[in-house]
Structure 1
Amino acid sequence: MAFTEEQPEKHCWVCFATEKDDLTAEWVSPCRCKGCTKWIHQSCLQRWLDEKQKGNGGGAVSCPQCGTEYHITFPKMGPVVYFLQQVDRVLSRISPFAAVGVVVGTVYWSAVTYGAVTVMQVVGHKKGLMVMERADPLFLLMGLPTIPVLLVLGKMIRWDDYLVRLLQRYCSKGKLPPGTSRYLSRVPADGLGAGDHLSVSRTLCGALIFPSIASLVGRLLFRRMPSNLQRTMLGGVAFVLMKGVLKVYFKQQQCIIQASRNILNFPERSGEGQNQGGDEDTEDSGNE
């Protein structure tokens, strides 16, 4: 009587299913494992390899139990699939440079468009178009983008701080109460612009909107000027002067208030010292 050894039931070590769960599934034994862990579904093995390789078809993958390295053989690709695969590799390599080029090109053409709009706004719509049509295209491509750059750089110059310093030196004594001028120098000890933080968004928006504000102020204050360019230039100068005067006025008021507080606090301290001295004299006379 012959005894036949029963084979162990197949268990997939990926999905933990048995051969009874799916009779039509294809089973493989790709490594040196024995027992129930040697079997795995073909579909589960392919899915597990894809997860391990993470898109790198040439990456080496080994069995987690016995350490056997899997030798993966792909079917021969047709010319179309091979061509598409090479195109995909080339695109994946040049995509970062292409993205940088798109961003730089977008910023450049935005600056060109803004420069053209600013020229038409400052000079006039019809005259601006005529000037740009007659100009050299290379000059326009190089000159128009510099308009927003110059506006932003001009906005970053803190010219009003120097104006405040000059007015504090020569015009502050007449506006302060008697005896308070000697305390004014204590206010800007940390610098005139110490409390003002340079905001990138504020500087950028203020610089880009300045031509529109200059054109609007010029139309309101200088209507009799025949040239649109003259009106815009005078409007820009008037707006800058008004802004500087207002800023100087507010800084002067802050200095006056701070100096007045210093003057009010000074007699109190001196009075306290005198009172303490008087109390000590009284105590000494009483002891005598």
Structure 2
Amino acid sequence: MDQPPTPKRLDSFSERTCWVCFATEEDEPGSDWTCPCMCRGATKWVHQVCLQQWIDEKQKGSSSIDVSCPQCQYPYQILYPSASPFLVCYEYLNRAITFSAPMILAGLTASSIYWVSFTYGIAVATVSLGRERSIAFFGNPESSILALTLPLLPWAVLSVKLVRLEVQALKFWYRFISPALYSLAKRIPILKSMATGHNPQKKFMAAPVAVLPFLSRCLLGTFSLPLIASTIGYALSYILKSQSSLRRTLLGGSIYLLLSYIAKISIEHHRGRLVGASPPTMATDYNFP
């Protein structure tokens, strides 16, 4: 009587499983397998194609990068075909360009920013001093040190705009000025009834702004400030009868900044909100300006 066939026991450590794609011999029977490291068991096997793709991803186009097994850390022995001198020179040139490209780009960017800033400073000096006085200023050797600070002008103006002085002014008002007026009003009989419902612990919270439009507006305002100041100063010169270009520009810029920040404070106060630590004692909450 024939005995039934004994079922074959599968040894999981003898099965070939690719540690890259996790496919077995049954999944891809016609694939080429290799074991390029010191691993043992099922993890030593890998598809030749999968290993080549994995090494290409690790090297990122540079054949000089050494690649090791992620399990046993055995360095792979990669043999490349012999290349012509032209290809070898091209490989070294490509590596040099890849290494130096970020530094070259950073240098070009810094140079462009410097010359744009320097041009802005020259434009400010020309608008403020006038053509003849600006030529005399830059031609004077004693002014050379001062001329080196011209690239700092746009960054100084831009820094002031990025700080958002209107928000800082409102925060200062509600933190220091408003409580001081509240304390003063409580001591004056006429204003005591008005200060009863006021919450002196209120804090101003600015409305959120979109970063990209805000930065674009700050840059536009920085570059247009000399032209606006010169235009306003030139218009006021007919009233003030002033012949000095510097005085006209400073006066026009001061008036423009004063009016613009008054408008910004009003708009920011309308957009923002007040946050109080405790509710007011009355239904109506009197706010000092």
| TM-score, normalised relative to structure 1 | 0.53
Q: How far apart are the structure 1 equivalents of 2:83 and 2:261?
A: 76
State the distance in 1 between where 2:270 and 2:191 align.
12
Partner of 1:121: 127
Aligned residue in 1 for 2:234: 219
Please state how far the C-alpha of 1:52 moved relative to its aligned partner. 5.8
Residues in 2 aligned to 1:52 and 1:253: alpha-carbon distance in whole angstroms: 58
Q: CA deviation at 1:134?
A: 2.8
Residue 283 of structure 2 corresponds to residue 265 of structure 1: yes
- Give per-residue Cα distances to partners, 1:55-94, cap 9 Å, x unaligned: 34467799xxxxxx8864523522x443332221111111
- Correspondence for 2:206: 195
Give the whole-Å Cα distance in 2 for the aligned partners of 1:244 and 1:83: 61
AA at the equivalent of 1:120: T
- Per-residue deviation at 1:229? 0.6
Identity of aligned residues (%): 17
CA apart distance, 1:126: 3.5
Cα shift at 1:141: 6.5
Flag the structure with larger Rg.
Answer: 1
Partner of residue 280, structure 1: none
CA apart distance, 1:145: 1.0
| Unaligned runs of at least 5 residues, structure 2 | 1-28, 33-48, 70-75, 272-279
1:41-190 alignment runs, 5 A limit: 53-54=55-56, 55-57=61-63, 72-78=79-85, 80-135=86-141, 139=145, 142-155=148-161, 156=163, 158=165, 160-161=169-170, 179-186=193-200, 189-190=202-203
Query: For residues 180 and 144 of structure 1, do their structure 2 counterparts lie closer, same or farther at Cα, with a shift above 3 Å needed?
Result: same
What does the per-residue CA deviation read over 1:103-138, in whole Å, with 9 as the maximum and x for residues that have no partner? 222212211111111211222234323322334696
Superposed CA RMSD in Å reads 4.8
User: How many residues are matched?
Assistant: 210
Q: Which residue of 2 aligns with 1:232?
A: 249
CA distance in 2, matches of 1:196, 1:36: 65
After TM superposition, the score normalised by the length of structure 2 is 0.53
- Structure with bigger helix share is 1
Separation (CA, whole Å) in 1 of partners of 2:242 and 2:179: 36
Larger RCO: 1 or 2 (CA < 8 Å, sep 6+): 2
Q: Counterparts of 2:142 and 2:231 in 1: how far apart (Å)? A: 30
Structure 1 unmatched runs, 5+: 1-34, 39-46, 63-68, 255-261, 268-288
Change (3 A) 1:209 1:183: farther
Contact 2:138 2:147 in 1 (8 A): no
Partner AA of 1:131 in structure 2: F
Is the Cα–Cα contact under 8 Å of residues 151 and 208 in structure 1 kept in the other structure? no
Q: 2: CA distance between counterparts of 1:253 and 1:184?
A: 19
CA–CA distance in 2 between the matches of 1:168 and 1:250? 22
Distance in 1 between residues matched to 2:31 and 2:267, nearest whole Å:
83
